[in-house]
């Protein structure tokens, strides 16, 4: 199964009041394993970068001034993500900005049914614990030493590792017989759920000895002196 882990950086927290996406990073997973295929882009937000936002991700208005507009890269981004489920940390935030940018380009929004939120997964799996990306990296032993500031691609790479741990760990995908095991288990569950009269009848297994085996057994019995069963009177 193909999935896309992504992260965004923005000028603020609310696209409805004019905040814009300035960076996106995407990491492709197939069967929970990174394929090495990634997508990364910066965007000119066509507005000034607030100092509070710049302090978080380090992207200045000067740095972004010569970057393409989101509309220039929109088709390329949509081609990369395809119809795969999209995974993000606090996914409603990232989906909100992505769909706001798509709306500006008169493109259809990404359906929220494709959204997988690792923040929700983490809260469900570890209630009461800290659930920031930094905290989850520490919990699962993911190296975040390169994360001096927020960066969309780096954060997506870290989140991909966290997501794998949240959904079963590195053992996922290592079972070469996983599909066969699931199919066999499903068959067994269906059979058990049926009424006894509806269950499929298995042909009886035959374990009758061959003539050679009977002869060898008789020869072996003949070597025994005064066997116990010979003293038992017939019924």
Domains of the chain: 2-166 (3.30.420.10)
Q: Over the chain, what HEC string results?
A: CEEEEEEEEECCCCHHHCCCEEEEEEEEEECCEEEEEEEEEECCCCCCCCHHHHHHHCCCHHHHCCCCCHHHHHHHHHHHHCCCCEEECCHHHHHHHHHHHHHHCCCCCCCHHHEEEHHHHHHHHCCCCCCCHHHHHHHHCCCCCCCCCCCHHHHHHHHHHHHHHHCCCCCCCCCCCHHHHHHHHHHHHHHHHCCHHHCCCCCCCCCCCCHHHHHHHHHHHHCCCCCHHHHCCCC
Give the pLDDT band of residue 203 (cuts 50, 70, 90): low
pLDDT for 149 equals 87
Q: List Cα–Cα distances, 11 to 21, 57, 154, in angstroms.
A: 7, 10, 18
Average pLDDT over residues 176-186: 45
Give the pLDDT band of residue 185 (cuts 50, 70, 90): very low
pLDDT for 220 equals 83
Answer whether residue 218 shows pLDDT above 90. Answer: no
pLDDT for 169 equals 75
Give the pLDDT band of residue 175 (cuts 50, 70, 90): very low
pTM for this structure?
Answer: 0.71
pLDDT for 59 equals 97
Catalytically active residues, by annotation? 150
Answer whether residue 179 shows pLDDT above 70. Answer: no
pLDDT for 190 equals 45
pLDDT for 92 equals 97
Answer whether residue 184 shows pLDDT above 90. Answer: no
């Amino acid at each position: 199964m193909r999935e896309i882990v992504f992260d965004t950086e923005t000028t603020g927290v609310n696209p409805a009041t004019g905040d814009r996406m300035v960076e996106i990073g995407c990491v492709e997973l197939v069967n929970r394993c990174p394929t090495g295929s990634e997508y990364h882009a910066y965007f000119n937000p066509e507005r000034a970068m607030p100092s509070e936002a710049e302090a978080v991700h380090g992207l200045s208005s000067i740095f972004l001034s010569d970057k393409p507009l989101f509309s220039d890269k929109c088709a390329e981004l949509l081609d990369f993500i395809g119809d795969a489920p999209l995974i993000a940390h606090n996914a409603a935030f990232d989906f909100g900005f992505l769909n706001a940018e798509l709306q500006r380009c008169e493109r259809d929004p990404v359906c929220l049914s494709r959204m997988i939120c690792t923040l929700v997964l983490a809260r469900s799996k570890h209630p009461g614990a800290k659930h920031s990306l930094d905290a989850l990296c520490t919990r699962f032993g993911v190296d975040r030493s390169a994360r001096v500031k927020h960066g969309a691609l780096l954060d997506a790479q870290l989140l991909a590792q966290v997501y794998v741990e949240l959904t079963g760990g590195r053992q996922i995908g290592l079972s070469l017989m996983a599909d066969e095991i699931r199919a066999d288990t499903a068959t067994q569950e269906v059979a058990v759920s049926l009424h006894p009269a509806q269950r499929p009848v298995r042909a009886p297994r035959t374990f009758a000895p061959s003539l050679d085996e009977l002869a060898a057994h008789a020869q072996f019995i003949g070597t025994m002196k005064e066997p116990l069963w010979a003293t038992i009177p017939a019924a």
